[in-house]
Amino acid sequence: MESGIRQVDFSRKLFGDNFAWGVSTAAFQIEGACDADGKGLSIWDVFTGKKGKIANGETAEIACDFYNNYKRDIDLIRELNIPNFRFSISWTRIIPNGTGAVNQAGIDYYNNVIAYSLENGIEPWITLYHWDLPHELELKGGWTNRNIIGWFSDFVAVCAKAFGDRVKHWMVMNEPGVFTGAGYFLGNHAPGRIGLKNFLPAIHHVTLSIAEGAKKLRGILPDAIIGTTFSCSYIEPYSTKQRDVAAANRADALLNRLFIEPLLGCGYPVKDVPALKGIEKYFLTGDPHNLTFDFDFIGIQNYTREIVKYSFFTPYINARLVKAEDRAVPLTEMKWEVYSPAIYNVIKKFSAYAGVKNIIVTENGAAFPDVVVNGEVDDPLRVGYLQNHIEQVLKAKNDGCKVNGYFVWTLTDNFEWAEGYRPRFGLVHVDFETQRRIIKSSGRWFASFLKR
């Protein structure tokens, strides 16, 4: 089992002076202050209020209270020797209704976060969209409405003009495969829509919005370093049988290739997933060109691998995941397999694309059942997870892959979407009743690694 603290036989220096080390967060998961200072409703504000959608009926109304205590948590980032801080912008803090009037209080807040980070020698990396679509835009169709390309582009422009004088690194969107799949096909994430009739237009409009948002950034900030991030699972077939191998290929196309390939000019992987053919009816003249952008970097976010086998009864792709808990493998609190070679393999896969110039691992981490004992949190499983995955990143780099950064998910325990507060991914433990912070052993280990 990949666990336990060990004396690592590699150091930060082996990655080179220009390798970016950081920690990642998301606005909705940490900020709280759900209606403070003019903020509008997001789809997640609404979704968490619906019965049965979130574990234990929990909400993110307070979460980690980062909005009111951002200085405390940025101080922790400094204490942990972490030089780069990735955070997202809440669209509804900036433009409460999604379009129209700009909320100056929201601009001021993020200006303060950026300024305090820079004061402490911490470089801000901004994610423009991390799932919290304005509810008012969802009422107009959300990502199924083609007008959202313009709405999103306008939001990007406001952020670029407000923060671009100090922020160099930008990510347009976070994990489009997750928020379209879970939110517009399966319905277990906000906004809770179901079926291909929602999923297909959402895919196309999101991809167009990523490209258009990046072009808007480039036009306003010609020297900005622009990327976007993708969730990536290493896919392996259950057996060497041809039908399992083909099923794994279809799953890979859907989970790993669906957005990156059209953005690189390769088109959607329709040949591998014929159910995607219906996306063509949402195309307008010029869309193949409008889908593409030459990104400075691609963010990949990997946590595990998936084993896939053929399934006659699974519609559209005739493939299903073999649950990790049924495979007698080490698990995280999310019931994801602990398998560090997965990150090596996804880096290698994405590095092979000719259009990918640079890769940053923008999320990697694990949730384990942490316990506070005598005011401390000892989490050797997380330490082992980080050690093994960072070692695999180094292996990928040494093998010639274009990887030049690694960000841990996440700084503090937070609101983990539909799972509520039970899964704890943080380097820092949070008591959500008192908002007390405790740096875990994993946080201390990462701080020591970065200092070395």
What are the sequence ranges of the domains in the chain? 12-451
What is residue 185's DSSP assignment?
I
Query: Using CA atoms, how far apart are residues 331 and 329, in angstroms rounded to an integer?
Result: 6
Backbone angles phi, psi at 298, to 5 degrees: -115, 130
pLDDT score of 452 = 79
Specify the 3-state DSSP secondary structure of 257.
Answer: helix
Q: Alpha helices of 272-363 — where are they, by DSSP H? A: 287-290, 341-351
Closest CA to 361 of 21, 127, 35: 21
Catalytic residue status for 175:
yes
From 123, 261, 363, 416, active-site residue = 363
Per the DSSP assignment, residues forming a β-bridge with 332 are none
Residue 123 CB coordination number (10 Å): 18
pLDDT score of 10 = 80
Contact call for residues 81 and 23 (beta carbons, < 8 A): no
Query: Using CA atoms, how far apart are residues 405 and 396, in angstroms rounded to an integer?
Result: 12
Digitized pLDDT (tens) for each residue of the chain, 452 residues in all: 455 566 677 889 999 999 999 999 999 999 999 999 999 999 999 999 999 999 999 999 999 999 999 999 999 999 999 999 999 999 999 999 999 999 999 999 999 999 999 999 999 999 999 999 999 999 999 999 999 999 999 999 999 999 999 999 999 999 999 999 999 999 999 999 999 999 999 999 999 999 999 999 999 999 999 999 999 999 999 999 999 999 999 999 999 999 999 999 999 999 999 999 999 999 999 999 999 999 999 999 999 999 999 999 999 999 999 999 999 999 999 999 999 999 999 999 999 999 999 999 999 999 999 999 999 999 999 999 999 999 999 999 999 999 999 999 999 999 999 999 999 999 999 999 999 999 999 999 999 999 97
Query: Using CA atoms, how far apart are residues 42 and 425, in angstroms rounded to an integer?
Result: 24
Specify the 3-state DSSP secondary structure of 202.
Answer: helix
Q: Which CATH architecture has domain 12-451?
A: Alpha-Beta Barrel (3.20)
From 136, 175, 261, 306, active-site residue = 175
Query: Using CA atoms, how far apart are residues 145 and 166, in angstroms rounded to an integer?
Result: 33
Contact call for residues 217 and 157 (beta carbons, < 8 A): no
Closest CA to 377 of 326, 430, 338: 430
Task: Name all contacts of 371-380 with Cβ < 8 Å and 24+ positions apart.
Answer: 372/429, 372/431, 372/438, 375/438, 376/438, 376/441, 377/429, 377/438, 377/440, 377/441, 378/440, 378/441, 379/440, 379/441, 379/442, 380/3, 380/4, 380/5, 380/441
Specify the 3-state DSSP secondary structure of 278.
Answer: helix
pLDDT score of 1 = 45
What is residue 279's DSSP assignment?
G
Task: Copy the structure tokens of residue 104.
Answer: 């100056």
Catalytic residue status for 363:
yes
